[in-house]
Amino acid sequence: MQVGSQTAEITHRGHMSNSLPNQANLEHLKAQASDLLNAHRASDHSATQRLQAFFPEVTEFALHHAQLTVAREYGFDSWPAMKASLEETALRQFVQAATDGRLEQADQWLVREPSLRNQPAVRLMLGEAVEDLTAPVPPLDRVPLLYIAFSKYASRAQNRAGLLALAQKCLDAGADANAYWQGDELEETALYGSAGHNNFPELTKLLLDRGAEPTDPEALYHSTEFADGECLRLLLEAGGDPEGKNVLARSLDFDHPICTELVVRHGLKQTDSVAIHHAIWRGRKLPTIRVLVEHGLDPGMVAPMFNVNALDVAAMTGDFAILEWLEDQGHLLTVPSLEPVWRSLWDGDAVPGDYPEVMHLALFPAVAKGNARAIRAMVASGFSVDTPEPFNGGFPIHDACFHGQPESLQTLFDLGASWDVTDRQYSGHPLGWLLVGSEHTDRPADFLRCAEILVENGHTFKTTEREGANAFWTGHPMIHDYFRSLGAIA
């Protein structure tokens, strides 16, 4: 039995236990025990004291005494209990890495702990057969089909065919094509795993053919995240209905015109009328905007939240290629005389004036694009660095951190922005936004520089009002290493 958790400090007969290292494995611990015994035999007084703390009556120490001492110092009642805990931890770490797509780390676990390959969950995620294809298996107590559907090893050709064949065997053995596990908020189904998590069209088709429900909201929503649109097409053709599931809006979080066209072909609703505004605000390029216009959305419509039309949004975001194309279609800015003002601001030239607050929102795309000259021009023209974003209530400094734009961040500080502000939706500090934004970045150095700028300008380690300094649950490892060097996290 493990006494407490691996991160707890536990007293054994007056001796304070240590925490197991994150990368601990049995061979290293065996070496520690051997080193302890050898140090005792070499008359190392501290080694002898460690042994005597647990065996005060023993005068001749053997290896099993040293192993039990090491186990108890780490908070376990026995060496086998510590070994079992290590094996469970390794299994959980592998499954998490294989699910998240950190396949190099998953591979490292297989090298570090070769016995993992005998675990059913590992075999399933690699596309290898197990004895029982329907019963739940540890460590997550999920049925085999779910391990298969969520395995990112599907991205490797050498595993993909095996995963598909194994899924078919599970279904042939009686597995439910609508199998799911209960996530924090929603049911996460095998179909979501194949279509929305893995972009695995062959498995998606197999599940649909075997009765999986095509209107699965998570599968539809997340399948738009893949540019080829193959899984989304399969879902829609099988009867999936995107209405009420934010599927169009999600497709517009990416420049995936194929996905956007698949959704709008299925039918636009009244609530989709401001999709063009949303798309331009999110930085979508002209091919995506063309799809929306060509399927009947009116760029001249004034969006209630902005009180501007789509051309105004294009001017605010500096997307002049889109603005010019919309003008060629016969549409106009709500105030055409402002076009030269916008062009000047985005060129870095201030145009002081008494502008409506909605224009101040242009700071957000300028920050996201790292355009320090435009930021300075806008502030010099009267735009406020304390302008809140209408969707999530963040401030420009939040966006600079989320997008990993160090030049924007430093410019905002130079212009008087404060780090000690929280967004209105998540109560998050800029550091929290930086951690989330850095999680899957291919530009970790830019996010690291943003972290350094925050600290240089007085940011504490708070990430949210609720979680304080304990919310480093996400973020790029490089960012974690930096804050670990500062003592912010263990």
Please spell the DSSP secondary structure of 18-44, one letter per residue: PPPPTT--HHHHHHHHHHHHHHHHTT-
Each residue's pLDDT tens digit, 429-455: 899 999 999 987 889 999 999 999 999
More confident residue, 461 or 261: 261
What confidence tier does 292 reach under pLDDT thresholds 50, 70, 90?
A: very high
Partners of residue 47 on adjacent β-strands: none
Report the percentage of the chain scoring pLDDT > 90: 71
Whether residue 139 is preceded by a cis peptide bond, meaning omega within 30 degrees of 0, is yes
Predicted pLDDT of residue 477? 85
Kindly give the pairing relationship between strand 15-16 and strand 180-182.
unpaired
Predicted pLDDT of residue 16? 41
Whether residue 316 contacts residue 342, with contact meaning beta carbons closer than 8 Å, is answered with yes
Q: Is residue 5 pLDDT above 60, yes or no?
A: no
Each residue's pLDDT tens digit, 169-211: 999 999 999 999 987 778 899 999 999 999 999 999 999 999 9
What confidence tier does 398 reach under pLDDT thresholds 50, 70, 90?
A: very high
Each residue's pLDDT tens digit, 61-71: 999 999 999 88
| CB-count burial class (<10 Å; 0-12, 13-18, 19+) for 146 | buried
Calpha distance 302→334 (Å, rounded): 9
More confident residue, 272 or 234: 234
What confidence tier does 123 reach under pLDDT thresholds 50, 70, 90?
A: very high
Predicted pLDDT of residue 425? 86
Calpha distance 357→366 (Å, rounded): 16
Q: Give the lowest-confidence range in 56-60, 422-426, 452-456, 465-469.
A: 465-469
Calpha distance 402→182 (Å, rounded): 29
Calpha distance 146→166 (Å, rounded): 11
The b/e string for 222-233 (b: 16+ C-beta within 10 A; e otherwise) is: bbbbbeebbbbb
Calpha distance 488→391 (Å, rounded): 31
Choose the CATH number for 353-490 among 3.40.50.9100, 3.30.1360.150, 1.10.579.10, 1.25.40.20: 1.25.40.20
Sequence-distant (≥ 6) Cβ neighbours of residue 415 within 8 angstroms? 375, 376, 379, 385
What confidence tier does 22 reach under pLDDT thresholds 50, 70, 90?
A: low
Structure tokens at 152: 């990112």
pTM here is: 0.80
Q: Is residue 471 pLDDT above 80, yes or no?
A: no
Q: At what angle do helices 372-380 and 406-414 cross, to 10 degrees?
A: 20
Whether residue 259 contacts residue 288, with contact meaning beta carbons closer than 8 Å, is answered with no
Whether residue 363 contacts residue 383, with contact meaning beta carbons closer than 8 Å, is answered with yes
More confident residue, 296 or 407: 407
Q: Is residue 1 pLDDT above 50, yes or no?
A: no
Report the percentage of the chain scoring pLDDT > 70: 93
**Residue ranges per domain, the chain?**
11-116, 353-490
Structure tokens at 127: 């596309």
Q: Is residue 347 pLDDT above 70, yes or no?
A: yes
First to last CA, the chain: 25
Predicted pLDDT of residue 18? 67
Tokens 């979508």 -> residue: 284
Calpha distance 129→173 (Å, rounded): 13
Calpha distance 486→127 (Å, rounded): 42
Calpha distance 302→273 (Å, rounded): 10
Q: Give the lowest-confidence range in 129-138, 145-154, 272-281, 318-327.
A: 272-281
Tokens 């066209």 -> residue: 261
Q: Which amino acid is at 258?
A: I
Please give the average per-residue pLDDT across 223-228, as a whole number. 96
Average pLDDT over the chain, rounded to an integer: 90
Predicted pLDDT of residue 452? 97
Calpha distance 125→19 (Å, rounded): 30
Show the CA angle centred on residue 196, arms to residues 192 and 198, nearest 5°. Answer: 100
Calpha distance 130→123 (Å, rounded): 7
What confidence tier does 12 reach under pLDDT thresholds 50, 70, 90?
A: very low
Predicted pLDDT of residue 277? 93
Residue 120 host element (H or E): helix 120-126
Q: Is residue 167 pLDDT above 70, yes or no?
A: yes
Predicted pLDDT of residue 160? 96
Partners of residue 137 on adjacent β-strands: 142
Each residue's pLDDT tens digit, 72-86: 998 889 989 888 888
Tokens 């649109």 -> residue: 229
Calpha distance 393→105 (Å, rounded): 36
Structure tokens at 132: 């029982």
Residue 182 host element (H or E): strand 180-182
Whether residue 97 contacts residue 103, with contact meaning beta carbons closer than 8 Å, is answered with yes
Predicted pLDDT of residue 10? 30
